[in-house]
Structure 1
Amino acid sequence: MYIKKIFLIVVLLGAVGMGGFAWYVYNTAFSDNTAFNNKEAHVFIPTNATINDVVAELEPLLKDTESFYAIATQKKYTSNVKPGHFIITKGMTNNDIVNALRSKNIPIDIKFNNQERLENLAGHIAQQIEADSLSLLEAMRDPQFLETVGLNAETALSLYIPNTYEFYWNSSAETFCDRMKIEYERFWSESRLQKAKKLKLTKEQVMALAAIVQKETAKVDERPRVAGVYINRLKVGMLLQADPTVIYALKRESGDFDQLIKRVLYKDLELDSPYNTYKYAGVPPGPIAMPDISSIDAVLNPEQHDYYYFVADVTNFGYHKFAKSLSQHNANKVEYVRWVNSQGLNR
């Protein structure tokens, strides 16, 4: 009888112990371990991160990092950390969190437009993906890569068509550039190529001209008309005489792209630069900025008219007055110059 009692006690204690252990396992793996109030939290795990890096990243988001570590070890995640962008939702258990970090790298949307140089673009993209600006700039400038796209150092900015693109956050600089090559080739459809050919322009010339149009007017509805002016000038062999190209040339010459130049002076027109379209005929050797799609398509679909000149309209700011003759243009220009002088814009 005594032995039976002992046996019964041992069985009961074992049951209690097993129950306690089961409760511990359940509580560790399958109870809410999130400590944030928002609906979800975004977690970014760098390439080559260790489990300690992951725990440090998660610490502000979890109630208990030790229980997370225990489950991560049990599920062998500690030796197989994956880089990327992950989403943890409120109420997730340690088991859910490990599963999300192990297999649910969520793509992000990357956006860019109107960058003036590759340096600006690289810095902008580096704020959105893991790759740093230096590695991005090196990849963008890589001569071998540019050769595969048919571009060079002057035309390299043409590759990047402003839009929103889906990427994995842990994409490398090379991955980014390779994807942009695909998007560039997709953008230049047969229809767009035929339009460029009809205008007797290369893709690179279209992009360089579109950059000028972009700088000349912020009004999307006016861009085809401005593009038409430049197409007309090219057809008759006139100089483009675009002020934005002179401003770019001045910045390029000084190396200071942060300076603000509101007014082009007559002395500036003498600057010896291939980007000075008052001095050199034809389209500049490369884009002076990143044109958006509306500017590119404005060049490919220019408004048909007989205008060869335009100047800012001081009675309808943002738009321009267009002229067919130099005498008409000079009359329009008098009004503009009078307004500029009244504003005291010396530079």
Structure 2
Amino acid sequence: MALTSYLIRLPSLCVLDLVGEDATAILHNLTTNQIKSLTAEGETRDGVETFITNVRGKCLGHVFAFAIENGFRLIGAPGISGETDGQRQSTAIAEHADRYTIREDATPMIRDEDFAAWVVLQSNDTSLSVADNSVQPTTKPTMTCYDGVDAYQLPWVPAGTMYLLPSGSEDHVDTIAAATGAAAISAETAEFAVGDEVLFHQHRIAAGFPWYGVDLTDAHLPQEADREKQTISFTKGCYLGQETVARLDALGQVQKKLVRWRLQGVSPSAKPSADDKLFAEDAAADSKPVGRITSVGEVNENGVGMAMGYARRSHFDAGSVMVGKVGDVSYTAEVLPPIVGESPE
């Protein structure tokens, strides 16, 4: 089936540059993944997905790190919703880096408003609801540098590329079209269909990627996001919060975990919402919930859809089934297998 290329403008992302002679040492001390092997050489550069952890091992940030001249670029979700007065992810990470930089030469530079983020998303226009439990492939993060635009392959969606252009660029379609051809992305034409943020998040949920500030906050531990293989190096040496992360790895005792659910029996006109609770199939009326939804994807005309959220330990294995209710309509939520990731080791 032919693919359609959707061009989607994202809200300003977390874009933070950490620069200076000691940027590598500082970032190494604040992140869960191995960043010392990243280099700024070549037109295409590998990156890593990583958590910024605080002293308690909680997720202060969730970003991709790429080596740039004299430092690193961190890219991630904005970190807060438009209805929240809290800090953006970039501000929280910058203040965190400043707090642990004493005499070192490492300066965080918030670049959120310097760039416009566009995603060329590949879709075959079929339903994004899951028809089976097949595990989808993940994308290794890379950054490709062209004149006037940087292209990023990130596992945000099953198939697509994110472009950072200077804010205010009026020729973004021509620039992205040129980069699309150079990057040999599957779009064969410069003609893009118009997409929106809702479509982006439907594909993100299908890919099982957590959006910081929505599915993941500084209240969560790294292992609760179920992305250890993609984000945590257990051989890199000391970093802030390592003791907690290593202890959880040794004990294997997280009590909740982020999962993808296949929903069935949903009314397309009354979808579940973020923070809706899910219960065990045979739960009594006064039972505690065993799941909480954080993101809801597409629901098709047959009442089949996708969602992400946290399942309790008793129900976070693939195949576990729980039930929810919207109004008078009950539906089931089946836990899907996790996305297979590439180990940073």
Q: TM-score range by the shorter chain?
A: under 0.3
TM-score by length of 2: 0.25
Structure ID, larger Rg: 1
The answer to which structure has the higher helix fraction is: 1
TM-score by length of 1: 0.25
Structure of greater relative contact order (alpha carbons < 8 Å, 6+ residues apart): 2
The answer to which structure has the higher strand fraction is: 2
